[in-house]
Amino acid sequence: MMSGLMTGPGPAYGLDILENREKIELINTWKIFLQAVSTRDLNKIRNISVEKIRCLSCVDNTAEEDREIENLQTTNLDWYKKLYEEKVYIPINKFCEEDFPLIFTAEYMRKIQDREPTYAVEDFNDRKIYEVIIPASKPGELAAGHEGVLHIFQFVKTNTGYKFWGIDTIP
């Protein structure tokens, strides 16, 4: 989704800098979201999310889902398009029931709570996506020479405020 590398507390390459008002709103949204996931308040998560979130890691985080993706690749010539235009959008209820427990482990929660986020905005299919970027694994943390992993929590602005729209990673 994003290209480029994080350079520190400033915006990442390819992302736009937030206006001050937008940054304050996004910081407040992040605090509400982080509180909901920290307390495992699935009803609150549902209420502060769009109907279907974009979550590529949710598509194949079980052995059964891995097999489904492998089958899709071998039986559908448009598998890539289907993956990125359909399957990647997960109903929030399914996310809360099946994917949330797999993603938001105790170790993962410690990392996203303890590490300093970067706030940015990017254009995705003519829509502003507000992003909270967390270094979930710092360079060299997982193994010598490993580039690290960034987790991106994405939000969109709606008539009722910012809503959780997706989760992504780099790489």
Question: Which CATH number fits the domain that encloses residue 129?
Answer: 3.10.450
Asked whether residue 9 carries a pLDDT value surpassing 60, the answer given is: no
> Is residue 4 domain-resident?
no
Q: Quote the number of domains for the chain.
A: 1
Work out the average pLDDT over 19-40: 95
> Is residue 13 domain-resident?
no
> Is residue 2 domain-resident?
no
E strands, the chain, are: 49-55, 89-91, 118-124, 127-137, 149-158, 161-170
> Is residue 3 domain-resident?
no
Residue 83 identity (one-letter amino acid) = L
Which of the four pLDDT bands, split at 50, 70 and 90, describes residue 14? low
Which of the four pLDDT bands, split at 50, 70 and 90, describes residue 8? very low
Angle at 93 between CA 22 and CA 87, to 5 degrees: 85
> Is residue 141 domain-resident?
yes
> Is residue 6 domain-resident?
no
Work out the average pLDDT over 17-32: 93
Asked whether residue 165 carries a pLDDT value surpassing 50, the answer given is: yes
Instruction: Give me the pLDDT at residue 139, please.
Output: 78
Between the alpha carbon of residue 103 and those of residues 22, 85, 95, 96, 106, the distances in Å are: 27, 22, 10, 10, 9
Long-range contacts of 68-75 (CB under 8 A, 24+ apart): none
Is residue 103 a contact partner of residue 57, using CB atoms and an 8 Å limit? yes
Range of the structural domain that residue 147 is part of: 20-170
Q: Which residues of 101-126 are buried (b: 16+ CB within 10 A; e: fewer)?
A: eebbeeeeeebbeeeebbbbbbebee
User: Which tens digits make up the pLDDT trace of 104-163?
Assistant: 999 999 999 999 999 999 988 889 999 999 998 877 777 788 788 899 999 999 999 999
Local structure of residue 12 (DSSP, 8 states)? P
CA distance 117 to 135: 7
Asked whether residue 6 carries a pLDDT value surpassing 50, the answer given is: no
CA distance 117 to 138: 13
Q: Which residues pair with 91 in a beta bridge?
A: 52
**What's the mean pLDDT when you consider all of the chain?**
87
User: Which tens digits make up the pLDDT trace of 52-85?
Assistant: 999 988 988 778 888 888 888 888 888 888 788 8
Instruction: Give me the pLDDT at residue 158, please.
Output: 95
Instruction: Give me the pLDDT at residue 11, please.
Output: 43
CA distance 100 to 121: 24
pTM of this prediction?
A: 0.84
Instruction: Give me the pLDDT at residue 46, please.
Output: 98
Work out the average pLDDT over 96-102: 95
